[in-house]
Amino acid sequence: MLPAIMTSTRAQNGPSTSNGKSPPPVTQAEIEARIQRVLGGLRPPIGFAGQPHASLTARMSTLNVPGVSIAVIHNGAVEWARGFGVALQGGRPVGPGTLFQAGSISKPVAAMAVMALAQAGKLDLDVDVNSYLKSWKVPANSYTDKTKVTLRELLSHSAGTTVHGFAGYQAGLPIPSLIDVLDGSPPANNPPIVVDEPPGRNFRYSGGGYTIVQQLLIDVTGRPFEDLLDETVLRPLGMSRSSYRQPLPARDLPHAAMPHTIGGDPVAGGPHTYPELAAAGLWTTPTDLARFDLALLDAWAGRPMPILSQPAAIQMLTSGLGNYGLGLIVRGSPPHRRFGHDGVNAGFINSMISYETGDGAIVMTNGDQGDVLVAEIMQSIAAEYQWPDWTRKERKLVAVDPKLLDRLIGNYRLGPTMIVHISNEGGQLFSRATGGAKFELFAQSDRDFFTTAFDSVFTFDTDGSTDARKLVIHQDGKDYPGDRIP
């Protein structure tokens, strides 16, 4: 196990107690005790009463996630940062300085660069982006004829732009230019980025929109995007381990985690290359992302920070459609507002959360089941540090006749390419969707089952005496029905 890394990264004039005094100092022994409770206290955010805790090591093994890196923010400072596991199966250990692909956490860092240029009077968030774009233009159609696309809409995923996310490019494959990506032209593996609904009306997550932002920043400044971000955000915030260079330079590969599949195998060829830098191209560490969060917290509270003024930070962190500000998801109400973002690239899954009170965490993983693990780690950190408004949903658990489970097993078609396989293994039901991981299902009635991996309920159409004919998955307020395949 690697030693905890203490840092002096602290919000200037950071959070204080209700009587105006700074929190009392914490000893290294107390911090170590907290770390050990976090590492041994993993539970899913959705579960049942009496569900036992699990250790980080056990869950990493079960979920085939080789490496994890964590930084915890407490009272306006990085209290501890530590790496666990390995960067590559059978290889070097993960440390606090190990690089991970950030995935969509690239977006808020890119958004800060936009806000800095807007603050300097070089950009207007509310004018037609085509007035800035030179190398490429947002294609005109009936939607853009009526309402022009703005930077504010692109940053808040409300511009009506297409392309949710990007798959990246395996080693050895041709890498498209940014114009190829925008046009959806070979060798790009995405469709064209266009506007297909009225700008400003709805929230719809769009990595394509951030790719337009990337081209706009290049056109306005005449600088390579990676150099611009280094100069505008990364260096001023002390994010010395971070870079938007894709692919990662060979000199940095020995310090980087390698991505792994759901089964725990290394992704073929190593990390994918993402020319969509603003949307998915950042390499970083949890400690560097903590520096980003702490600086934004400073500006939000009106304390000095190197890049943004308080009004600019407030714009970034004002929740709009879909609880999204300008680059970040923003939830809660004073004094417990929080902002954050998740990030997924091939073989990398990460999350960051920060409260206005000066607490938070960043967790980065190098496995495709990292989403389940990250949720359990965050739940453990939240419990240890008593994060406000962070609750664990507990469902009712009932005993079901094991013979009934056999009437539920089989394959259910939920879509043209989506089949959910239900199996009975030793009296316990499991679900596995096409291309996905296997999740344990728990009974809350003899027809309704839930998983602790995500917030959903599986309802089977059976009276207990016949085999189930249908399955309906209830998730995020929607129903996804599927017929059993004979």
Same domain, 154 and 245: yes
pLDDT score, position 440: 94
Average confidence (pLDDT) over 119-126: 98
Q: Are residues 388 and 480 in the same domain?
A: no
CB proximity list for 419: less than 8 A, separation 6 or greater: 411, 412, 413, 433, 434, 485
Answer whether residue 26 is part of any domain: no
Give 205 or 15, the one with higher predicted confidence. Answer: 205
461 and 327, same domain (yes or no): no
Query: What's the domain range around 222?
Result: 100-393
Boundary of a domain, candidates 327, 359, 393? 393
- How is residue 92 annotated by DSSP? P
pLDDT of residue 465: 74
Indicate whether 382 and 413 sit together in one domain. Answer: no
Q: Is 68 domain-assigned? A: no
Same domain for 174 and 245, yes or no, is: yes
| DSSP, res 53 | P
Chosen domain end from 393, 426, 461: 393
- 184-201 confidence digits (pLDDT tens): 999 999 999 999 999 999
Instruction: Kindly report the CATH number assigned to the domain that includes residue 256.
Output: 3.40.710.10
Name the token pair of 224. 């390579």
* Residue-averaged pLDDT of the chain: 93
207 & 313 share domain: yes
pLDDT 10s digits, 31-60: 999 999 999 999 999 999 889 999 999 999
Domain assignment present for residue 84? The answer is no
pLDDT tens-digit profile of 54-79?
Answer: 999 999 999 999 999 999 999 999 99
Q: Which residues contact 257 (CB under 8 A, 6 or more apart)?
A: 67, 69, 87, 88, 94, 98, 99, 100, 348, 364, 366
Residues 309 and 427 in one domain: no
Q: Do 334 and 452 sit in the same domain of this protein?
A: no
Examine the domain organization and report whether 316 and 447 are in the same domain: no
φ and ψ of 147, to 5 deg: -140, 125
Q: How confident is the model at residue 6 (pLDDT cuts 50, 70, 90)?
A: very low
Residue 374 lies in a domain: yes
One domain, residues 358 and 432: no
DSSP states along 411-435: EEEEETTEEEEEEEETTEEEEEETT
Q: Of 351, 376, 393, which residue sits at a domain end? A: 393
Q: Does 378 fall in a domain? A: yes
pLDDT in tens, 223-234: 999 999 999 999
Task: Tell whether 336 is covered by a domain.
Answer: yes
Cβ count within 10 A of residue 115: 27
* Helix (H), strand (E) counts: the chain: 13, 18
Could you tell me if residue 32 is inside a domain?
A: no
Distance CA 402, CA 407 (A): 10
Contacts of 152 (CB under 8 A, 6+ apart): 125, 126, 326
| Residue 81 placed within a domain | no
Q: pLDDT per residue over 308-345, tens digit each? A: 999 999 999 999 999 999 999 999 999 999 999 999 99
Phi, psi of 240 (to 5 degrees): -70, -20
Q: Is the pLDDT of residue 4 over 90?
A: no
pLDDT at 65: 98
C-alpha to C-alpha distance for 119 and 418, rounded to whole angstroms: 46
207 & 318 share domain: yes
Same domain for 389 and 411 = no
Asked whether residue 463 carries a pLDDT value surpassing 90, the answer given is no
pTM for this predicted structure: 0.91
Q: 237-272 as b/e, with b when 16 or more CB fall inside 10 Å?
A: bbbebbbbbbbbeeeeeebbbbbbebebebbeebbb
Distance CA 106, CA 435 (A): 26
CB 126 within 8 A of CB 150: yes
Matching residue, tokens 């719809």: 204
d(CA 153, CA 421): 40
Domain count along the chain: 2
CB 15 within 8 A of CB 30: no
Report residue 22's pLDDT band, with 50, 70 and 90 as the boundaries: low
What is the CATH classification number for the domain harbouring 432?
Answer: 2.40.128
pLDDT digits (tens, 9 = 90+) for 302-318: 999 999 999 999 999 99
